[in-house]
C-alpha cells in the first residue's frame, strides 16, 4: 500500500511541498489541508493591487485548485487542522481523524498584534488573505485617510501604494528611519523622499499608544506625538511563526519561536518535516537561527522538505538572504547584514563603498547604483552589503549573496569580470568599484599603521 | 517548552531589540533624513547594563557564548570556512 503524506498549509512552502513530493514520488498519496478557500496566489502582490499598480486581484493567481487535483493531489480547502496525534499518526480536521505516514508542517505566520488599548476595534486590517484584501480594497474607495503602523517591508509597500492610490497616509514607527531593523541610515533620505512624494506623512520615532473610535470602529490612532484621525489602520508589525499546532504535538521550537529543523527540514519528531515562515533556519554568517524570510525561501524550503519526505536526499544551506524591494519609487536591497545589524551584533567589519551607473552613462535610462560591501577585517571575505538606486539592485543582491556563500572576498569582487554593453551594463561595475574603494582604503590605513 | 527555553527565547528577543535600538541610535545620529528613535522608560537594565557589556566583548567570545548556550543552529553543516591566509596589503615597491 502506498504511503500517505499530509501537508498542512497552502502557502508557498505548503504548495511546493505537496506538488513536488507528488512529482518526485508519484506513488505517494499526498493530501494538502488549508484553512483558506484559495491557493497558489501571490500575497506579496496585494499591496500593489491596492496601489493600482496592478489592475485586479485575479492577476495574482498562478494556478487553480482544480489544476492541483488534476495533478493527483487530494486538496482539502477551508479545512483547519485542529490537532495532531503523533502516537497514532493522525490529525483532526472538521472533527474527522485522518491518518498519515509522513507530515509536512507549513502553517506559516501570524501578524504580531499591537499590545495597546483598542487593538480589537474594527477597522484594523492585516494583510494576508486575498479575500480579505478584496473586501478591504472596496472599503478603501470610501476612505480618505489611513494609518500604517510598522515600518517593515510590508509597511513600506502598503504606505507607498496607498499614497499612490491618492489616500492620505500616516506612516508610524518607533524607529529613527523606515526599515531601521534592516536598512542602514545612509539610505534613509532617498527612501523617505520617495515615500513623501507619494503623499505619505512619516511619523518616525513615534510610539502607538492605543486606538480610539466610536461604535466599535477605529477612528484615530493615539501616539506619543498626539492623536491621528484615520478611517482604517493597516497593521504591519513583525511576522510571528504559527507554530502552536506543531508545538502542541511535541515538535520542538527554538529561540525565535519557529520550529527547529535540520538541513533536511526534519523536525524533532520522526517523519515530520516543516518549512516556510513557521521554521527557523541558520544565518550563514553567524549560524544563529532566523525566520520570517521571503517567499522564495519558503518555496525552496518546501521543495527541500518534499524531496526528503518523498525519499530523495536534499540538503538546504544556511541562508545569506538576498533581499530587495521598491520603497516608494526607489529600489533598495542587500544581503546578509548591513552596518546597523553588524553593529548591533558586534560583528567586526571593514567597508567598501562605491557609486556607479547601471548602464553606459550616455545611454537613456542609466541610473546611479550605490553599493556598500561589508567584509571580515582579517580575510576580507564578504559578510554583507546594501545596494540602492535604480535598476539592477535585485540581480546584484542575488549575486553578492551567492558570492558570500561561496567565500568570495573584496579582492575577488574588485577584480570580477562584468558585462559591458551600453544598454544593459556600464564599463565599470558598481560592485567592483565599491570593492576597489574598500581595498584602497584598507591599504591606506595599513600604510599609515606601518609608518 | 521548558523554563530554560523560555529564558533563552526572552534573552534573544530582548537583547536583539535593545542592541538594534542602540546601533540605530549611534549610526543614525546626524544622518540626513533620520530622527531620534522613540525612547521609552522600559528596559533600563538592558539599555544601561546589557548593551554596554555586550559591546565590550569580542565577537569570538560572543559566538562561543551563543554556541555554549545552544542558541546557534544544530543539525546543519556550517558554511565551509577554508583555512586561508589573512589578507595583507601588497608590499611597497
DSSP state of A342: H
- Answering whether pTM is above 0.90, one says yes
DSSP state of A369: E
Q: With an 8 Å Cβ cutoff, is A343 touching chain B?
A: yes
Q: With an 8 Å Cβ cutoff, is A442 touching chain B?
A: yes
| Residues with pLDDT less than 70, chain A | none
* Contacts (Cβ under 8 Å, ≥6 apart) of A337: A285, A345, A347, A374, A383, A384
DSSP state of A243: -
Report how many Cβ contacts below 8 Å link chain A to chain B: 151
C-alpha span between A424 and A434 (Å, rounded): 19
Residue B40 Cα, gap to closest chain A Cα (Å): 9
Q: Is the pLDDT of residue B62 over 90?
A: yes
pLDDT at A450: 78
pLDDT at A129: 92
Q: With an 8 Å Cβ cutoff, is A446 touching chain B?
A: yes
Please, which pLDDT band fits residue B81 given cuts at 50, 70 and 90?
Answer: low
ipTM: 0.91
- At A29-67, the pLDDT tens digits run 999 999 999 999 999 999 999 999 999 999 999 999 999
Q: How many residues does chain A have?
A: 451
Q: What is the DSSP string of A36-104?
A: SS--SB-GGGHHHHHTTSSS-GGGGB---HHHHHHTT-EEETT--EEEEETTTTEEEETTEEEE-SEEE
Find, among B9, B78, B61, the residue nearest to A345 by Cα. Answer: B61
Please, which pLDDT band fits residue B3 given cuts at 50, 70 and 90?
Answer: confident
If one compares B81 and A64, the residue with the highest pLDDT of the two is: A64
Residue A181 Cα, gap to closest chain B Cα (Å): 7
pLDDT at B41: 84
**Set of cell numbers at residue A190:** 532617498
Measured CA angle at A234 (ends B29, A136), to 5 deg: 155
Find, among A99, A79, A80, the residue nearest to A90 by Cα. Answer: A99
Residues of A in contact with B11 (CB under 8 A): 255
C-alpha span between A278 and A256 (Å, rounded): 10
Give yes or no for a contact between A169 and A201, defined as CB atoms under 8 angstroms apart: yes
Q: With an 8 Å Cβ cutoff, is B42 touching chain A?
A: no
What are φ and ψ of residue B81, in 5° steps? -115, 85
What are φ and ψ of residue A448, in 5° steps? -65, -40
* Contacts (Cβ under 8 Å, ≥6 apart) of A62: A40, A41, A42
Amino acid at each position: 500500500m502506498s504511503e500517505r503524506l499530509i501537508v498542512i498549509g497552502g502557502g508557498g512552502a505548503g504548495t511546493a511541498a505537496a506538488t513536488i513530493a507528488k512529482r518526485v514520488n508519484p506513488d505517494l498519496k499526498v493530501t494538502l489541508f488549508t484553512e483558506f478557500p484559495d491557493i497558489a496566489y501571490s500575497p506579496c502582490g496585494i499591496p500593489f493591487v491596492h496601489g493600482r499598480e496592478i489592475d485586479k486581484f485575479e492577476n495574482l493567481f498562478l494556478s487553480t485548485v482544480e489544476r492541483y487535483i488534476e495533478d493527483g493531489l487530494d486538496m482539502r480547502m477551508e479545512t483547519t487542522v485542529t490537532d495532531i496525534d503523533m502516537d497514532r499518526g493522525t490529525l483532526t480536521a472538521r472533527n474527522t481523524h485522518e491518518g498519515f505516514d509522513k507530515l509536512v508542517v507549513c502553517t506559516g505566520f501570524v501578524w504580531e498584534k499591537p499590545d495597546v488599548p483598542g487593538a480589537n476595534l474594527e477597522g484594523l486590517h492585516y494583510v494576508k488573505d486575498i479575500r480579505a484584501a478584496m473586501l478591504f480594497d472596496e472599503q478603501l474607495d470610501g476612505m480618505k485617510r489611513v494609518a500604517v503602523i510598522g515600518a517593515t517591508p510590508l509597511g513600506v509597500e502598503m504606505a507607498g501604494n496607498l499614497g499612490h492610490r491618492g489616500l492620505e497616509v500616516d506612516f508610524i514607527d518607533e524607529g529613527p528611519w523606515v526599515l531601521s531593523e534592516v536598512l542602514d541610515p545612509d539610505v534613509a533620505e532617498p527612501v523617505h523622499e520617495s515615500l513623501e512624494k507619494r503623499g505619505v506623512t512619516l511619523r518616525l520615532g513615534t510610539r502607538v499608544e492605543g486606538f480610539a473610535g466610536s461604535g466599535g470602529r477605529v477612528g484615530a490612532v493615539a501616539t506619543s506625538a498626539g492623536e491621528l484621525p484615520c478611517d482604517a489602520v493597516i497593521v504591519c508589525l513583525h511576522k510571528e511563526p504559527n507554530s502552536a499546532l506543531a508545538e502542541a504535538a511535541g515538535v520542538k521550537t527554538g529561540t525565535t519561536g519557529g520550529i527547529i529543523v535540520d538541513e533536511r527540514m526534519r523536525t524533532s519528531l520522526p517523519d515530520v518535516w516543516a518549512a516556510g515562515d513557521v521554521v527557523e533556519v541558520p544565518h550563514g554568517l553567524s549560524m544563529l537561527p532566523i525566520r520570517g524570510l521571503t517567499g522564495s525561501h519558503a518555496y525552496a524550503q518546501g521543495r527541500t522538505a518534499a524531496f526528503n519526505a518523498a525519499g530523495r536526499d536534499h540538503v538546504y544551506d544556511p541562508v545569506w538572504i538576498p533581499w530587495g524591494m521598491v520603497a516608494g519609487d526607489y529600489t533598495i536591497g542587500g544581503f546578509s547584514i548591513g552596518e546597523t545589524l553588524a553593529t548591533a551584533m558586534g560583528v567586526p567589519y571593514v567597508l567598501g563603498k562605491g557609486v556607479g551607473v547601471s548602464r553606459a552613462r550616455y545611454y537613456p535610462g542609466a541610473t546611479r547604483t550605490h553599493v556598500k560591501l561589508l567584509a571580515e577585517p582579517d580575510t576580507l571575505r564578504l559578510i554583507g552589503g546594501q545596494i540602492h538606486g535604480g535598476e539592477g539592485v535585485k540581480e546584484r543582491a542575488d549575486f553578492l549573496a551567492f558570492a558570500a556563500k561561496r567565500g568570495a572576498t573584496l579582492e575577488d569582487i574588485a577584480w570580477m569580470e562584468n558585462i559591458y554593453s551600453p544598454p544593459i551594463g556600464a564599463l565599470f561595475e558598481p560592485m567592483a568599484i565599491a570593492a576597489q574603494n574598500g581595498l584602497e582604503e584598507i591599504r591606506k590605513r595599513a600604510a599609515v599603521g606601518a609608518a | 517548552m521548558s523554563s530554560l527555553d523560555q529564558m533563552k527565547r526572552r534573552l534573544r528577543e530582548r537583547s536583539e531589540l535593545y542592541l538594534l535600538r542602540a546601533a540605530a541610535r549611534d549610526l543614525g545620529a546626524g544622518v540626513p533624513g533620520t530622527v531620534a528613535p522613540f525612547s521609552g522608560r522600559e528596559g533600563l537594565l538592558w539599555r544601561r547594563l546589557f548593551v554596554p557589556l555586550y559591546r565590550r566583548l569580542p565577537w569570538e567570545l560572543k559566538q562561543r557564548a551563543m554556541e555554549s548556550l545552544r542558541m546557534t543552529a544544530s543539525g546543519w553543516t556550517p558554511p565551509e570556512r577554508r583555512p586561508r591566509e589573512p589578507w595583507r596589503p601588497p608590499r611597497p615597491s
